[in-house]
A and B are shown apart, each in its own frame.
Chain A
């Protein structure tokens, strides 16, 4: 039984899937933590660190992207909320919204990348460019992975596999997706604003 409400039949009292997802997210904290801290350290410490002007970075577009990702987080949590009430239609609708918003995020990013490239911010143009493309690229891969995860959920939801009693995977996918949103919430100010 994969009921997320009942006390799980494990030593820890936490369903294995949920604990697994949190352990994975803890490792993700270290992955992004390593990259972000090296960025911060080099940016504050290196004399070779040239930060491009704000007008080159396209702050308004990045802000729109932040809104898009935050909204997708909300639709994801509303999808979970819907299936907790047994509303399969609501689950499907919100999953589709989330997928569309994730695609919007990727769309805006794929407009941003060549734009920056033409402005002279490339992956080899300096420390800023290297970090920018590495970190936002890594984050983008996570968005793509999240879309695959949600596509899988959507397929199962359309097949009617999720019910009030059994929808643990929707919750785990949500945890992952909110984490991806959270990483962007950190990347946005450190690359675009500060």
Chain B
């Protein structure tokens, strides 16, 4: 049976992903003992973690088979989480990290931008809610209209 075969092959996929995750864990630990230069060590660690996370999300959490809505939901969350990191990080590179004082210091500017961008998240969320509500009302209206004309 087709569905049965599909399930059986999924089981093998899960086991293959498990093997990959185990090997990657061993590799990342091994690499951390190789005394790489700091940037290289970070690059290796981050890349391996990214591959592992993708394997888990796409295969164990079945993201591979999900539609647009769930994909974009996670892309949005990831985007805003990364803003926290990358809008502030470059500024830090040029400034003293613990100088929280000074008006207009790079740190303050970084945080201000971070806050401004993050404030748009609730706006986006409420907008999305409003969009879905309006769309569902419209659909319902259309359905009832079709129904009444049919009768």
A residues contacting B by CB (< 8 A) are: 11-14, 18-19, 22-23, 25-27, 29-30, 32-34, 36-38, 40-42, 44-48, 54, 59, 63, 66-67, 70-71, 73-74, 76-78, 81, 84-85, 174-175, 178-179, 181-182, 185-186, 188-190, 192-194
| Interface status of B92 (Cβ within 8 A of chain A) | yes
Check B97 against A74 for contact (C-beta < 8 Å). Answer: no
Main secondary structure of the interface of B (DSSP, over half): helix
Could you count the A-B residue pairs with CB atoms below 8 Å apart for me: how many are there? 141
B residues contacting A by CB (< 8 A) are: 4, 7, 10-11, 14-15, 17-18, 21-22, 25-26, 28-29, 31-32, 41-42, 45-46, 48-49, 52-53, 56-57, 60-61, 67, 69-70, 73-74, 76-78, 80-82, 84-85, 88-89, 92-93, 95-98, 132, 135-136, 139
Residue among B15, B22, B28, B61 with most chain A CB within 10 A? B61
Check A73 against B60 for contact (C-beta < 8 Å). Answer: yes
A186 with B45, Cβ < 8 A, contacts A11-B139, A41-B92, A67-B22 known:
no
State the Cβ distance, A81 to closest chain B Cβ, in Å.
Answer: 5
CB-CB under 8 A from B60, the residues of chain A are 73-74, 76-77, 174, 178, 181
